[in-house]
């Protein structure tokens, strides 16, 4: 279970950074940055229950985010969320877009961190503070675990809204990931402007000849 030892070892204001949505075929990549301002006043449930977002149910993530919002109001922690768009993912590649979202999240924090702990084995360039990569950080660091939850919940909610705007792909259920439902919808509906055209499954769909039915009923392959 994650704890506060990595943050305590650094001292000062330490933020944890994590992302959600590197792998999906559609939608933005979202990053969260979290600073625990007062570990002693942080509610016990957060100290005990914060964990890698992938290990938690959607309902549990929602509950923990509600607890974090209350803790933020009480001055125990602060957090920020930011994204990189589908256009930026296609323009820069997913890794650079992820780092861009992380940089934006840290820039939106109401405090300036003295150090950042970043989940994974790479570091975003030009962060406003020194940083350390932490492999498996969302299972080790309390602030990274919290960041994984805020990023995941924010992205899932965004994809649910997108599902209402662009129905048919099942974004509310699959969050843009390459499920059989999503793959079938792509074949049926084609590629939307919210899809990552640089991703191989989407790119292959764009390169595959599509049958168009003319008004007279004839099929034309394009």
| Tokens 């792998």 sit on residue | 23
Considering only CA atoms, which of 153, 155, 145, 33 is closest in space to residue 85?
A: 155
pLDDT score at 207: 82
Token readout for 120 is 């994974």
- Give the tokens for residue 201: 């499954």
107-164 confidence digits (pLDDT tens):
999 999 999 999 999 999 989 999 999 999 999 999 999 999 999 999 999 999 999 9
Q: Where do the domains of the chain lie, and which CATH numbers do they carry?
A: 5-203 (3.30.420.10)
pLDDT tens per residue across span 168-178: 999 999 999 99
Q: Which helix (H) or strand (E) holds 146?
A: helix 142-165
What pTM does this model have?
0.92
């Amino acid at each position: 279970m994650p704890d506060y030892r990595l943050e305590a070892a650094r001292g000062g204001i330490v933020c944890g950074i994590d992302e959600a949505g590197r792998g999906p075929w559609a939608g933005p990549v979202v990053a969260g940055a979290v600073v625990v301002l007062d570990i002693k006043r942080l509610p016990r449930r957060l100290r005990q229950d914060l964990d890698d977002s992938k290990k938690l149910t959607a309902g549990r993530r929602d509950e923990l985010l509600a607890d974090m919002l209350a803790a933020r109001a009480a001055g125990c922690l602060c957090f920020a969320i930011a994204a990189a768009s589908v256009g930026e993912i296609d323009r820069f590649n997913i890794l650079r877009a992820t780092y861009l979202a992380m940089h934006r999240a840290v820039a939106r924090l109401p405090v300036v961190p003295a150090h950042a702990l970043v989940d994974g084995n790479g570091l975003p360039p030009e962060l406003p503070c020194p940083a350390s990569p932490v492999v498996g950080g969302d299972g080790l660091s309390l602030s990274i675990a919290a960041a994984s939850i805020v990023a995941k919940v924010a992205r899932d909610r965004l994809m649910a809204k997108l599902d209402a705007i662009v129905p048919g792909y099942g974004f509310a259920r699959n969050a843009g990931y390459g499920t059989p439902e999503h793959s079938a919808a792509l074949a049926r509906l084609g590629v939307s402007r919210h899809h990552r055209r640089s991703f191989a499954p989407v790119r292959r769909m764009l390169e595959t000849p599509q049958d168009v039915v003319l008004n007279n009923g004839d099929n034309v392959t394009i």
